[in-house]
Structure 1
Amino acid sequence: MKRFKGTALVLVALLLVVGILAGCAPQQTAKQKVIGIVLPTKDEPRWIQDEARFNDALEDTDYSAEIMFSQGDPAREKQNVETLIGQGIKVLILCAHDAVAAAASAEAARDAGVKVISYDRLILDTDAVDYYVTFDSVEVGRKQGQYLVDQASGQNNPLYLYAGALSDNNSFLFFQGAWEVLQPKIADGTFVIANSTQAEALKDKNSLTRDEIANIIGQITTNWDFNTAKNLAQANLSSAPKTLKGDVFILAPNDGTARSIADTFAADPDITSYVVTGQDAEKPSVQYIIDGKQSMTVFKDVRVLVRDAINAAITYLEGGEPEATTTYNNGVKDVPSKPSEVQVVDKNNVREILIDSEYYTESDFTWPTE
C-alpha cells in the first residue's frame, strides 16, 4: 500500500511538470485562410510554378490561401470565385482567363466586400479592381522585339509574327511593345513580314490603335495553346514561298508556344536557321535554350510577382493601401499598380540569371559536356 501511494505521488508530480511545461510552450496560432487565389489552368508549367510560389510566400505569414484553377473556362472561374466568397475570403487574387468575362467575378467579390487584386492579367471593363500586380508587359514585348533586331543583319529577313489570345489584355501589351521596336526595322527593309497581311498593311505605322492590334492578333493568335501554335506555324510554312524561308526570325509570345513553333520550323527542310523569342523561363524552354532549340526567353521572376501580390493582400487585410507607381486603364478605371522588372535570358547568361539566383538548380537541366 505504501509502495502504491509512493508511485501515485510520483505520477502526480510528473503530470504537474508536464502541465507546467505545456503551459510554457509557445502556442501555435492557426493561420487565417482569408486569401483566395484563382489561376487560369493547371495545364501550363507557368501556373503550376505560381501555385508553388504562393504557398512558399505565405509560409512565414499569419495567413494561408485557397488556390483554385479555372482550366481556361470563364464559367468555372466565376464558380471558383463564388466558392471562395462563400468560404469567407477577404482578398481575392485573380488571374483572369478572359479579361472581359472576369469582370463579373470581380464585381461579385467587390459586392461581397472582398478586395480584388488583378494578377498578371488586367481585368477589363469594371471598376471592381482595386490593384493590379504585373510585370511590365509592354517592356516584355520590347525585349522580345529588340532581341530579334539585335540578331538580324542585311535586308529582307523573313519575320513570322505570333501572338497570345485576343481575350487576354496582355497579348495586346506584348505585341504593342514588340511592334514599337520591330516596326522601324520592317519599314527600312531589314525584315519582311511573312505571315500577316494586316501587319504588312500597317508596316509604316509605329503607334497602333487597339483595333489595329486586334486585327493583327486575329491573324496570328495562338490562343496561348500549344497545338494552335503548331497548326498555325505549319499553315504559315505550307503557304510560304522559299524566299520567305532560309534564315528566319520568329516573334513567339511565350515559352509554350515558342517550343511548338520552334519544333515546327526545325522540321521544315527549307528553314536554314531560326531565331525565336519566348517568355516565362519555363523549365522545358530553359532546356531548349541550353540545347540551342529556343533563342531566348523573357524571365519574369515569379517569386517577385507572387511576393508583390501577397504583400498587397496583407496590406489590405491590415487596413492599408499597397504602394503604386503607375496606373493601367482597364476601360473603366485607372487601376493602381507597381510593375515588376523583367530580364532577357539566353544561352550566354542562363546560368547567371536562373541558377546563380537559385530560381532553379543546376540539376534541373542537362548541360553540354565541356
Structure 2
Amino acid sequence: MKKLIALLMVLALVLSLAACGGGEKPAPEDGATDEAAMIGVSMPTQSLQRWNQDGSNMKAKLEEAGYKVDLQYGGDNDIPTQVAQIENMITEGCKVLVIAAIDGSSLTEVLKQAKEQNIPVVAYDRLIMNSDAVSYYATFDNYQVGVMQGQYIETALDLKNQKGPFNVELFTGDPADNNATFFFNGAMSVLKPYIDSGVLVVPSGQTTQAQVSTQDWKTENAQSRMENLITSNGYSPKGKKLDAVMCSNDSTALGAVNALVSAGYTKDDMPIVTGQDCDKPNVKNMLQGLQSMSVFKDTRTLADKVVGMVDSIVKGSEPDINDKETYDNGTGVIPSYLCAPVVGTIDNYKELLIDSGYYKESDIQ
C-alpha cells in the first residue's frame, strides 16, 4: 500500500512539472518581443490629398507587417502641433519614428530627445535638416521629378528645333521644404539653357526659387500669384500668349489653372501646365485638356520601402539603401532609398492609375 501511495505521489509531481513547463513561453529570439512594437508616423497636413494617402498607406502596411501605429497629422501644416505630436510619440515609447516634416529645419530640438532615447528616425519624402538623429531617408528621385517636368516642356514646345521666343512662368513649392529645391533645380537644369539663349522668355522676370515659391504649397497662394502674373504681364487667350507654366506639383498647378480658366482660358488655348502627384482634381483637368502632365509618385511603393526599412531597423539589420551620396542634411549624408517617378498624361493615365488600382475610374470622372 505504501509503495502504491509513493508511486501516485511521483506521478502527480511529474504531471505537475509537465503542466508548468507546458505553460511557459519560449524565450524570444533576438529583436523579437511579445508585444507588437509601436511605430510613430508623423505627416504634415490633411489639407493635401497626397498626405492623406501617404498616411493611410503607411498605417495599413505597417499594421499588416504586425506593428502598432500612432499616425498623427500636424494640423494644417502647424509646426508646434507636429513637434508636440513627436514629443508624445517619444514619450509613449515608439520604437521608430517616420516623419514627413512640415519644415525640414524645425525638428532639431525635439529629435534630440529621440536620439537620447535611441529611437531611430526615418525622414519620409522630405529630408529633415540639421539633425544627426536622422538615420535614413526614403523618397522619390526628386531632382528627376523636376527634370521630367522640364523635359516635358522641352519636347512639347520642340525647344531643340524652334527659335521661339516662347513665354513661360515658373511655380515651385514652400521654401521650407527641401524637396522644392530639388524639383526646381531639376526643372531648371533643362529650361535654364533655353532661358539664357532667349528661346524661352520669362516675362515676369521671376526666375529664382525665392521669387517663384508657393507658401505651404497651397493652391490659393499659387492661384493668387498666377492672377497677378496674368494682370501684370497682359496674358490672355486672345492677346499675349503664355506658352507654358512649369509647376512643381499638382496643388500649385491647380491654382495656376484656376486663375487661367477665370481669365478665359479653355482647353483650346491653355498653355502647357506641368504638375506632380496625379491628384484627383488634376487628373480630371488632364482629361479635360486643362493640365498637360503630372509626375506620378506611387505612395504605395514608397510606403512599401519605408515598412521594409522599419522592419529591418526593429530586427537589427541594415535597411535597403540605393543612395549614399546625394542627401546631406547639414550633419552629413543620410543613407537613402530613392523610388522612381513616372510621367503621367492623358495617354497613359488608365494603365498608370486605374489598372494599377491606385484610383477607381469613378474617382476621376
- Structure 2 partner of 1:46: 50
Structure 2 SS opposite 1:194: coil
Count of residues in Structure 1 that have an aligned counterpart in Structure 2: 322
Q: Is the 8 A contact 2:250 2:278 kept in 1?
A: yes
1:59-208 correspondence runs (5 A):
59-71=63-75, 72-153=77-158, 154=162, 155-197=164-206, 199=207
Q: Is the 8 A contact 1:152 1:190 kept in 2?
A: no
Q: Is the 8 A contact 1:158 1:193 kept in 2?
A: yes
Structure 2 SS opposite 1:143: helix
1:185-264 correspondence runs (5 A):
185-197=194-206, 199=207, 216-223=208-215, 224-242=217-235, 245-264=240-259
- Structure 1 partner of 2:4: none
Cα deviation per residue 1:153-211 (whole Å; 9 max; x = unaligned)?
440111100110111100100001000011122223321013334x2xxxxxxxxxxxx
TM-score (norm 2): 0.84
Question: How many Å separate the matches in 1 of 2:41 and 2:63?
Answer: 15
Question: How many Å separate the matches in 1 of 2:323 and 2:65?
Answer: 27
Change (3 A) 1:49 1:31: farther
Amino acid at match of 2:133: A
Cα deviation per residue 1:285-322 (whole Å; 9 max; x = unaligned)?
11111121111110001001111111111111111121
Cα deviation per residue 1:79-134 (whole Å; 9 max; x = unaligned)?
00011111110100000000111222322211221100000000111211100001
Question: How many Å separate the matches in 1 of 2:65 and 2:270?
Answer: 49
2:59 to 55, 60, 77: 55
Identity across matched positions, percent: 33
Change (3 A) 1:105 1:245: farther
Question: How many Å separate the matches in 1 of 2:68 and 2:204?
Answer: 47
Return the offset for 1:270: 7.5
Amino acid at match of 2:100: C
Amino acid at match of 1:225: K
Return the offset for 1:58: 2.2
Q: Is the 8 A contact 2:138 2:337 kept in 1?
A: yes
Question: How many Å separate the matches in 1 of 2:280 and 2:132?
Answer: 37
Amino acid at match of 1:78: V
- Structure 2 partner of 1:307: 304
Q: Is the 8 A contact 1:77 1:105 kept in 2?
A: no
Structure 1 SS opposite 2:131: coil
Question: How many Å separate the matches in 2 of 1:172 and 1:179?
Answer: 10
Question: How many Å separate the matches in 1 of 2:235 and 2:80?
Answer: 45
Q: Is the 8 A contact 1:38 1:70 kept in 2?
A: yes
Question: How many Å separate the matches in 2 of 1:245 and 1:263?
Answer: 18
Structure 1 SS opposite 2:358: coil
Return the offset for 1:267: 2.4
Change (3 A) 1:295 1:242: closer
Q: Which runs of 5+ in 2 are unaligned?
A: 1-22, 24-32
Change (3 A) 1:270 1:135: closer
Change (3 A) 1:311 1:234: same
Matched, 1:274 2:271: yes
Q: Is the 8 A contact 1:133 1:339 kept in 2?
A: yes
Q: Is the 8 A contact 1:245 1:270 kept in 2?
A: no
Moved over 3 A (4+): 241-245, 269-272
Q: Is the 8 A contact 1:242 1:270 kept in 2?
A: no
Amino acid at match of 2:256: I
TM-score (norm 1): 0.83
Q: Which runs of 5+ in 1 are unaligned?
A: 1-22, 24-28, 200-215
Structure 1 SS opposite 2:222: helix
Alpha-carbon RMSD across the aligned residues, in angstroms, is 1.9
